[in-house]
Amino acid sequence: MTDVTKPGILPARPQFSSGPCAKRPGWDPTKFNLDVLGRSHRAKLGKARLKLAIDLTRKVLGVPDDYRIGIVPASDTGAVEMAMWSILGQRSVTTIAWESFGEGWVTDVAKQLKLNPTVLKAPYGELPDLKAVDFASDVIFTWNGTTSGVRAPNGDWIPADREGLTFADATSGAFAQDLPWDKLDVTTFSWQKVLGGEGGHGVLILSPRAVERLETYTPAWPLPKIFRMTKGGKLIEGIFVGETINTPSMLCVEDYIDALEWADGLGGWKALAARADANAAALNAWVEKTPWIENLAVDPATRSNTSVCLKITDSRADAETPKKIASLLEKENAALDINGYRDAPAGLRIWCGATVETADIEALTPWLDWAFAQVVSN
């Protein structure tokens, strides 16, 4: 390994960060509708652009017509917190965690809302026993574990006749994986992931069952203003037609619209998923033939096609090896931001979402071999 030749071809775009992610191919901000800048987001133009973002989200993702879609503050985290604080407390809660963000929702439900949830956990790289979930309770989980590379394989484990509501943090799964809307009551994401948008805004999608809960149940705790979705026992419909709770960045909204129009032109979420699948397949083909690295996700059926997490298995490596590889490749401009998440096991995390080109994944893999050889020989 120590005599691996330095590759001669760099990825055309070395952005492999898992959030914010690479911009779409051909991204050109000069094409944005900049007339909205310096204007009120509550003006006719601003509300129209926000409504367009919502309508395109529905079209690209295939969200049912009777589901509400809102743009909310504070990225995916804000959307999840908004939903949990506004909706939970009527019945028992089950939290499912197999990576750090799922662990965060466990902490919030248990220690902040103090709802004494049933907690199902699995170590990094694995899924808990989903057959053990009690759907008489409200159930909270990450659809795609961004920090573990493990995703729910499908929605078959969620019953159609469930009594409780399902809360899916889908931030690195939306636009790249098949989200079964009939099985999801609260779905959240941030557009900085698969569509490569600028951060700071969350998207909250509510099923009719979730809306019914909001309109018939009042939590026992006080709600901050940015969490309130009802007034006088009725849903504040304006949130879901472009009247945001607080001031959004209209430049970020234009960036999102640009990505959505690109996605729509390709054919919607299925076309985006196909791109992510091709990227993940190219990376996994290299993993399969490379002796020093393996997927962190144990079961191929649950491996993410976006946030691919890898562990180094060579005996010469230590906990600092992934960080050193990432640093070396950043200096070479071959890969940016591929060190694993800070709370995850030491390893590499390479984004394979739809805005990445397969040719760049293929160009990256020889650099990974080279960097590993350099690190372990020093």
Token pair, residue 331, equals: 């200096």
Q: What is the pLDDT of residues 149-197, one digit of tens each?
A: 999 999 999 999 999 999 999 999 999 999 999 999 999 999 999 899 9
Q: Can you state the angle between helices 269-289 and 44-61, rounded to 10 degrees?
A: 60
**Domains detected in the chain:** 29-266 (3.40.640.10), 269-377 (3.90.1150.10)
Q: Confidence band (pLDDT; 50, 70, 90) for 215?
A: very high
Token pair, residue 248, equals: 């959004």
pLDDT at 2 over 80: no
- pLDDT at 307 (0 to 100): 98
Distance CA 119, CA 346 (A): 25
On the 0-12 / 13-18 / 19+ scale of CB atoms within 10 A, 251 is middle
On the 0-12 / 13-18 / 19+ scale of CB atoms within 10 A, 222 is exposed
pLDDT at 1 over 50: no
Mean pLDDT of 37-62: 97
Strand ranges for 36-104 from DSSP E: 68-73, 93-97
Q: What is the pLDDT of residues 16-28, one digit of tens each?
A: 999 999 999 999 9
Q: Can you state the angle between helices 358-377 and 321-331, rounded to 10 degrees?
A: 120
Mean pLDDT across the chain:
97
- Of 176, 95, 83, nearest to 141 by C-alpha is 95
pLDDT at 100 over 50: yes
pLDDT at 104 over 70: yes
364 CA to centre of own chain: 23
pLDDT at 133 over 80: yes
pLDDT at 65 over 80: yes
Token pair, residue 272, equals: 């985006």
Token pair, residue 163, equals: 């009594």
Q: What is the pLDDT of residues 288-347, one digit of tens each?
A: 999 999 999 999 999 999 999 999 999 999 999 999 999 999 999 999 999 999 999 999
- pLDDT at 202 (0 to 100): 97
- pLDDT at 364 (0 to 100): 98
- pLDDT at 54 (0 to 100): 98
Q: What is the pLDDT of residues 265-297, one digit of tens each?
A: 999 999 999 999 999 999 999 999 999 999 999
Which residues sit opposite 190 in a β-bridge? 202
Task: Give, as one character, the DSSP assignment of residue 77.
Answer: H
Distance CA 258, CA 116 (A): 43
How many residues are given for the chain?
A: 378
Q: Confidence band (pLDDT; 50, 70, 90) for 378?
A: confident
Q: Confidence band (pLDDT; 50, 70, 90) for 3?
A: confident
